[in-house]
Structure 1
Amino acid sequence: MDVSIHGRNVEITDRFEQYVESKTEKVAGLLPKAQAFEVRVSRLSDKSPKHGDRVEITLIGPGPVIRAESTGPDKYSAYDIAYGRVLERIRRSKDRAHDRRGRGRISLGDAAANDFAEVGVQPASGEILDAVSNGSVPVTGEAEKAYSPVVIRSKEFPAERLAVEEAVDQMELVGHDFFLFIDVETAKPSVVYRRKGWNYGVISLTED
Structure 2
Amino acid sequence: MTYTFTCKKVPLSDSVKEYAQKRIDKLGRYFQDDPAVHVSFSVEREVLCAVEITIRSGSTILRSQSQAVDGDMRGAIDSGVAYIERQILKNKTRLAKRLRSEGFPSVVEDVSFAVKEEAEFDIVRTKHVPVKPMTAEEAILQMNLIGHGFFIFRNASDNAVSIVYRRNNGGYGLILADDME
Distance (Å, rounded) in 2 between the aligned partners of 1:6 and 1:159: 24
User: Structure 2: which 5+ residue stretches go unaligned?
Assistant: 102-118, 131-138, 145-165
- 1:1-208 correspondence to structure 2 within 5 Å: 1-44=1-44, 46-48=45-47, 52-73=48-69, 74-97=72-95, 119-124=120-125, 129=127, 141=141, 153-158=172-177
CA spacing shift, 1:10–1:2, aligned 2, 3 Å: same
With structure 1 as the length reference, what TM-score do the two structures score? 0.49
SS at match of 2:141: coil
Structure 1 equivalent of residue 148 of structure 2: none
More displaced, 72-81 or 52-61? 72-81
Which of the two has higher C-alpha Rg?
1
Distance (Å, rounded) in 2 between the aligned partners of 1:5 and 1:89: 22
Amino acid aligned to 1:65: I
More strand per residue: 2
SS at match of 2:174: coil
Amino acid aligned to 1:123: V
- Structure 1 contact 34–62 (Cα < 8 Å) conserved: no
* Residues 68-99 of structure 1 deviation map (CA, whole Å, 9 limit, x = unaligned): 11111121111111111111122233233559
Structure 2 equivalent of residue 179 of structure 1: none
The count of corresponding residues between Structure 1 and Structure 2 is 126
SS at match of 1:121: coil
Amino acid aligned to 2:124: P
CA spacing shift, 1:2–1:121, aligned 2, 3 Å: same
Distance (Å, rounded) in 1 between the aligned partners of 2:67 and 2:178: 31
- Structure 1 contact 36–60 (Cα < 8 Å) conserved: yes
With structure 2 as the length reference, what TM-score do the two structures score? 0.56
The alignment-based identity, stated in percent, is 17
Query: What RMSD over aligned residues (CA atoms) do the two structures have, in Å?
Result: 3.5
